[in-house]
Amino acid sequence: MQSYPHGEVVVVVDCEDLVRAAGFWTEVLGYSPEGEPSERYFTLLSPSENGPELLLQKVPEGKLCKNRVHLDLRTRDLANEVERVVSAGATQLTDEPLSEGGWLWHVLADPDGNEFCVLQPPTSYWTRERASSAHTTP
């Protein structure tokens, strides 16, 4: 569980089909299901104990507009990671990588249409202290 000074951080993702969403996100993130889904919720846990819980929430309506919050997946190899995530069921929404300040990224959508990004930081990101670069995403 990812904690903060007053409790734990949980990322909630709306979806129409809990099992389909769980299949997608477990393949993409390497998370594991915690038990069986309830009627409305399915919990996925990080393979490391310090990652945030991903709570899938079944909702009756489909996605209507752009997400106000989204996940970023940072990788050293943008093309291969985009290909891997698309093969898991994502839809690539950008034809060419977006670029800002040495960062390259594509916008994708999960099977429920929720946007997320796959980003390739500049090489210097991977060599600097993680604490000093935590807030440098474009």
- pLDDT beyond 60 at 131: no
pLDDT at 81: 96
Is there a contact between 78 and 100 (Cβ–Cβ < 8 Å)? no
Please state the rounded mean pLDDT for residues 107-117.
96
CATH class of the 1-62 domain in this structure: alpha beta
CA distance 72 to 118: 6
CA distance 90 to 72: 14
Q: What is the pLDDT of residues 34-81, one digit of tens each?
A: 999 999 999 999 998 888 999 999 998 888 888 878 999 999 999 999
CA distance 138 to 133: 11
CATH code, residues 63-130: 3.10.180.10
Q: Binning pLDDT at 50, 70 and 90, where does residue 129 land? A: low
Domain with CATH 3.10.180.10 in the chain: 1-62, 63-130
